[in-house]
Structure 1
């Protein structure tokens, strides 16, 4: 009679597609590809009939106990990053399964998500990126993986786990669709990735993986980026400088693209700015100004009150009937402002609940988000916005292709809905079909599309993951900090 054993691994670990092992009539199914350092998971041997063999009938071992250990009861503990073989001996049979132990990336302070890549800034000021690298958006010329290109065949360079960007330390990161920029403690801006429209600001239109300084001797107070443009508030005079693909309200008319910083919005000075198809900024006098696509009230001004004749509008418009905002966030055709008291007000397109006011009616002037939630910060992109609070859950509204981190996608809400309840989020970023959040311990979690490694979970890209999954350091690669040995 042929005897068969099946090794079943617990679900406390990061899951991957099942691997199947067979040896002389024995079968081994391992529905686990990896665990994270510090995690435990339980293993057991099951007879062909489904009966679990008692622990006394199985002996366990790990080929490398610096990577993982396993006790007499079949409990595995991740010790350090690497690969080991977990071995089960029962009677005359011996079965092995490879186990990859991964190390959490971070701890992070912030994370930014593009179309198919993401980057995080850790507490030491180092930048880490994961996902697709076709344009150098990971900040490395030597990505460790090749990810399949859906529909077209072939593959693209990528990283399924976080790799360190070879750059000096930053205090902030901002990201566009295919590029990322960092701000140093001295106010210097460095950018990398796609540059066909000059969004890196280095005076060229050449894309690349090496973080290069933005042209000019500028010191910036804050940066913002979206799609194919970047802007920064200059420290010395609070002027707003932008580069990349317009529209930009500049003195000598609209430029198709700016490859290095140029002052925009005339004499206005700003304390903060948000960039998208609409660009909005809070002036140093406390007013909010917007310009760009004027359709559907996205500039916060009724159509009859606009002071420009063209769309996109090249003249900054003062948002009407708005409280004094301390920050703004912009999506595709809408914007939201955050008051000093933590109230969120939104205006613009609202066909899928982007304004969070409980309706689907476009508004050309700000309306309060339903429920009067109190936030510390806002984030918006595409067709959704989110609010973060140190004393409450992560709340989002509109439609997020990545889902609300609860197993559903796409997800839509006409009013604030709790997102990723298991994550005590202190920072979040909405991407095209992926969302990431950083919790109070600095752990980054992502959910949504998993193609090109954008979830950063260290496993091969596969189907979308609709629950938050932790970002890990890439198991085989991390580039050094610039200037290190």
Structure 2
């Protein structure tokens, strides 16, 4: 065989191998990059049997009827790991999560920077996870907070309280007489509550909202997107996020105000028993115990 013919054969073989590699690469790309990899049209599958929900920045958790906790969304720090066991409440912070067990102890998981996910010993009535701190009401109604104290947010006041809510860099609590006390960062007036009396309070990132004894929602702090300008309906619960707020009215419908995108602020129709707002989304539990989210929620399981 002439040398030129041999070179031609070798060149053809090399070209053939290259073509095979390219075809294989294109096939692999199509398999992994086509929409078939994750069917975005599939319905979200949160399951059912919920009694409450808590929304974090990029993850959310719901408490189920059997006392277990189901979480979904961003899980870089383990903040969205679901939990078995008997819980009575769950609260999602920015990158950590805490729950109150049936025996009154607090369990936390996720990022433990500054000790935000290391609760103290003892028995608690409630717990609330914030930006980089956590607060709870002990069984004797005194407050305990842990985590980052850069703005004094884990230095709660003395006295007895009915409930507490940890926000971005502040926290607020309701006393037995209905007055609200706040501590921590107050750069936007979020820790400067008006006179109540209040039934409950929800601390957002830089604004806070509370429900008065007549069912009116009153908000204070940052209002650059209208998040602290509530409607006039009567409410039974409220959840303050960063730039929006959502609440359940006394007829069990949901109303949201403020701004976030994409997705808008239009809440779904229906009757609801719990709502949680954070990031650019909100989730709520329907009377049927099913979960529903809108806006730009964390990626849920799909069916």
Partner residue in 2 for 1:126 = 68
Partner residue in 2 for 1:281 = 173
Q: Is contact 2:165–2:173 with CA below 8 Å preserved after alignment?
A: yes
What is the aligned counterpart of 2:213 among 340, 365, 368? 340
- What are the Cα deviations for residues 291-346 of structure 1, in whole angstroms up to 9, with x where unaligned? 2222233222xxxxxxxxxxxxxxxxxx34x2200111122222111112211111
CA distance in structure 2 between the partners assigned to 1:339 and 1:351 by the alignment: 23
Change (3 A) 1:280 1:107: same
Q: How big is the shift at 1:446?
A: 1.9
TM-score (norm 1): 0.51
Change (3 A) 1:289 1:113: same
Partner residue in 2 for 1:199 = 116
What are structure 2's unaligned runs of at least 5 residues?
Answer: 1-33
CA distance in structure 1 between the partners assigned to 2:43 and 2:116 by the alignment: 39
1:246 aligns with 2:172: no
Partner residue in 2 for 1:221 = 125
Runs of 4+ aligned structure 1 residues displaced above 4 Å come to 31-36
What are structure 1's unaligned runs of at least 5 residues?
Answer: 1-16, 20-30, 37-102, 140-163, 202-213, 259-263, 301-318, 357-368, 405-410, 412-418, 459-471, 473-485
CA distance in structure 1 between the partners assigned to 2:86 and 2:115 by the alignment: 23
Partner residue in 1 for 2:101 = 184
Partner residue in 1 for 2:285 = 438
1:224-303 equivalences in 2 (<5 Å): 224-235=128-139, 237-247=140-150, 249=152, 264-276=155-167, 277-300=169-192
CA distance in structure 2 between the partners assigned to 1:433 and 1:35 by the alignment: 20
What is the aligned counterpart of 1:110 among 49, 52, 56? 52
1:397 aligns with 2:289: no
Partner residue in 2 for 1:377 = 237
The alignment covers a number of residue pairs equal to 268
- Match of 1:265, SS state, is coil
Q: Is contact 1:230–1:275 with CA below 8 Å preserved after alignment?
A: yes
Q: Greater helix percent: which structure?
A: 2
CA distance in structure 2 between the partners assigned to 1:284 and 1:457 by the alignment: 41
CA distance in structure 2 between the partners assigned to 1:429 and 1:334 by the alignment: 15
Q: Is contact 2:248–2:273 with CA below 8 Å preserved after alignment?
A: yes
Change (3 A) 1:339 1:35: closer
Q: How big is the shift at 1:126?
A: 0.8
CA distance in structure 1 between the partners assigned to 2:186 and 2:46 by the alignment: 44
- What are the Cα deviations for residues 336-360 of structure 1, in whole angstroms up to 9, with x where unaligned? 111122111111222211221xxxx
- What are the Cα deviations for residues 152-175 of structure 1, in whole angstroms up to 9, with x where unaligned? xxxxxxxxxxxx42x321010011
Aligned Cα RMSD in Å? 2.5
CA distance in structure 2 between the partners assigned to 1:180 and 1:352 by the alignment: 27
CA distance in structure 2 between the partners assigned to 1:269 and 1:396 by the alignment: 31
1:25-174 equivalences in 2 (<5 Å): 34=42, 105-139=47-81, 164-165=82-83, 167-174=84-91
Q: How big is the shift at 1:138?
A: 2.2
Partner residue in 2 for 1:154 = none
Partner residue in 1 for 2:300 = 456
Partner residue in 1 for 2:9 = none
- Match of 1:183, SS state, is strand
CA distance in structure 1 between the partners assigned to 2:85 and 2:136 by the alignment: 19
TM-score (norm 2): 0.80
Change (3 A) 1:32 1:291: closer
- What are the Cα deviations for residues 187-214 of structure 1, in whole angstroms up to 9, with x where unaligned? 111011111221111xxxxxxxxxxxx3
Q: Is contact 2:79–2:111 with CA below 8 Å preserved after alignment?
A: yes
Q: Greater strand percent: which structure?
A: 1
CA distance in structure 1 between the partners assigned to 2:262 and 2:272 by the alignment: 16
